[in-house]
Amino acid sequence: MLRHADIWGAIDRLARENGLSASGLARRAGLDPTTFNRSKRVTRDDKQRWPSTESIAKILDATSATLGEFVSYVGDGGDGGTDRNIPLLGFVQAGVSSYFDDAGYPVGGSWDEIPFPGLADAHAYALEITGSSMEPAYRNGDIVIISPEANTRRGDRVVVKTNDGEIMAKQLLRSSALKIDLTSFNPEHEDRSISVEDIDWIARIIWASQ
């Protein structure tokens, strides 16, 4: 017997297998971005709402997945049992020092949480992009997963927090003992060169919803 949670879990699993959030999967399939939101999975009076066969057909077509693949995700919880909750914070809020310790790890009880599978970094966290300053790489509402313990190297997409509370996501162009050079994703925003002594922390972006 098919269960409500199994079908939605399979949709979540299909999204992750394609490097997408549930809303990103909906957009790719030409659906309203909120189609698969968790708030849409039950009605206001707590009755279960099931995805339509049309929406499932569209996401299979958009991801080139077969019905057999989708069915294989049904009943495994959508995640193979590997999900764990990680902290989630708005990008602008990340500039506030009380949300991080001296090592750049998330602290405090004001974070939200989202499930995410298979992360080795126990200190990993998620930031929700706000605004258009990081387009076209990241758009308003996208989620980026940050790994404070991952090594950073030239070409990596990183999040940097300065000592004065400025927070930015850019591409690491080069680093030295004295400074780091960063390239902006959006050509309307300038590249940056920041002295090492002015950096609170730098961490690598390891995944992003699209």
- Least Cα distance to 169 among 130, 118, 115 occurs for 130
Whole-number Å distance between alpha carbons of 51 and 70:
13
Q: What is the mean pLDDT of residues 138-147?
A: 90
Residue-by-residue DSSP string for 70-105: HHHHTTTTTTTT-EEEEEEEETGGGGSGGGB-TTS-
Residue-by-residue DSSP string for 43-73: -TTS-B-PPPHHHHHHHHHHHT--HHHHHHH
pLDDT at 80: 42
Q: What is the mean pLDDT of residues 160-178?
A: 93
The domain locations on the chain are 4-73, 85-208
Please provide the average confidence, as pLDDT, over all residues in the chain.
86
**pLDDT over 90 at 208, yes or no:** no
**pLDDT over 90 at 6, yes or no:** no
**pLDDT over 50 at 81, yes or no:** no
Residue-by-residue DSSP string for 122-177: TT-EEEE--SSTTTTTS-TT-EEEEETTS---TT-EEEEEETTS-EEEEEEEEE-S
At the fourth CATH level, the homologous superfamily of domain 4-73 is lambda repressor-like DNA-binding domains (1.10.260.40)
**pLDDT over 50 at 79, yes or no:** no
At the fourth CATH level, the homologous superfamily of domain 85-208 is Umud Fragment, subunit A (2.10.109.10)
**pLDDT over 60 at 116, yes or no:** yes
**pLDDT over 70 at 114, yes or no:** yes
Q: Give pLDDT tens digits for 12-49.
A: 888 888 888 888 899 999 999 899 988 888 888 878 98
**pLDDT over 80 at 84, yes or no:** no
**The token pair that represents 39 in the structure block:** 């708030």
pLDDT at 174: 95
pLDDT at 78: 43
